Amino acid sequence: MKLLKRLVFLVLLLLLIGGGVAFLMLDGIVRSAIEKGGSAATGTATTLDKADASFFKGAFGLDKFAIANPQGFRSEPFLALQSAHAQWQNGSILSDTLLIDDFALDGLALNLERSAAGNNWDKILDSLKKLSGGTPAKPAEPESGSGGSGRSVTIKKISIQNTHCALHISGQPALNGDWKVDVPAITIENLRSNGSTAEIAGKLTKAVVEAVVKQAATSGKGVFPADALKDLESGLKEVGQRALDDMLKGKTDPGAALKQAEKGVKDLLGGKKKP
């Protein structure tokens, strides 16, 4: 009897240790997937300092996500996020569709720049435009043993608060300087996506970047130089101004046209869909 109890205790201990290792690895997997997805969406390096995913709490958090400026521009990020938190419905965690009630982003800094190298927003928006159709951007490299097309995720509400935008103009013959505006809160409703964790992260990055740049252009009227604002609005039209307006009203799926860019990215968390 004592031997049996010891064996049961040993098995339980191994399971607990194994589970602990799995959850420690989960944060790293989520972090890697978000960085890959963000890079595929924007065409430039993205970094995330920390991901805290907790299945038990039905929540996860992100700290210090940054999208680097394209080559040839200032060293500061194109967009930097201080923190983000999400709550999902626990009953959906093992289903094919994960339901997230609220995804809150807090503390964004958007740095727009015009220099001798051109406009940094053109580089980023061009990459997002490629994901919306035409020539697909290069997706994140697949890992060996990739399994299927992943799961589906529905985010009922994305709220973006405390956003500040700066416009930097340098190396121009007529006008140089810095301008800043505060961007009001943004709400995106009913974002639906499927695929691997990296693919979903790419779609989410695309939706957030486009919404923030659009709102910054609106807030910059009367503050930013007219010609720079005109170029910014022109870039937004290229990725679909009407689609952005509908997205912010919850009328469309901002990731529906990204399928060409998603092929080959590993499903890091979802696995194969059920037949």
Domain ranges of the chain: 2-135+150-262
Amino acid type, 231: D
Residue 165 has pLDDT above 80, yes or no: yes
Residue 111's Cβ-count burial label (10 Å; 0-12, 13-18, 19+) is buried
With beta carbons less than 8 A apart as the criterion, state whether 254 and 207 touch: yes
Residues 6+ apart with CB under 8 A from 133: 257, 260
Q: Are strands 118-119 and 97-115 parallel, antiparallel or unpaired?
A: antiparallel
pLDDT confidence of residue 254: 41
With beta carbons less than 8 A apart as the criterion, state whether 210 and 273 touch: no
Neighbouring C-alpha atoms within 13 Å toward the C-beta of 206: 35
Hey, what's the torsion of the CAs at 140, 141, 144, 146, to 10 degrees?
Answer: 30
Residue 25 has pLDDT above 80, yes or no: no
Q: How far is 212 from 114, CA to CA, in rounded Å? A: 18
pLDDT confidence of residue 43: 93
Residue matched to tokens 């807030």: 219
Region 72-95: what's the mean pLDDT?
Answer: 86
Q: Give the model confidence (pLDDT) of 86-140 as tens digits.
A: 887 776 666 778 888 899 999 999 999 999 889 999 999 989 887 654 333 344 4
pLDDT confidence of residue 218: 95
Q: Are strands 46-54 and 59-67 parallel, antiparallel or unpaired?
A: antiparallel
Q: What predicted TM-score, i.e. pTM, was given to this entire model?
A: 0.73
| Mean residue pLDDT across the chain | 76
Residue 236 has pLDDT above 90, yes or no: no
Q: 59 falls in which pLDDT band (50, 70, 90)?
A: confident
Region 193-213: what's the mean pLDDT?
Answer: 88
pLDDT confidence of residue 26: 64
Tokens representing 63? Answer: 């700290």
Q: 240 falls in which pLDDT band (50, 70, 90)?
A: low
17-31, 42-56, 82-96, 230-244: range with highest mean pLDDT: 42-56
Neighbours of 177 (CB within 10 A): 10
Task: Choose between 150 and 115: higher pLDDT.
Answer: 115
Task: Choose between 274 and 196: higher pLDDT.
Answer: 196
Residue 253 has pLDDT above 60, yes or no: no
DSSP-derived letter for residue 142 is P
Neighbours of 109 (CB within 10 A): 17
- Cα–Cα distances in Å, from 128 out to 50, 73, 254? 25, 18, 11
pLDDT confidence of residue 142: 41
Burial 61-86 (b: 16+ CB within 10 A, else e): ebeebbbbbbeebeeebbbbbeebeb
Tokens representing 46? Answer: 């993205």
Say what percent of the chain tops pLDDT 90.
43
With beta carbons less than 8 A apart as the criterion, state whether 187 and 248 touch: yes
Task: Choose between 87 and 223: higher pLDDT.
Answer: 223
With beta carbons less than 8 A apart as the criterion, state whether 271 and 146 touch: no
Residue matched to tokens 């009897």: 1
Beta strands in the chain (DSSP E): 46-54, 59-67, 79-88, 97-115, 118-119, 151-169, 177-183, 186-195
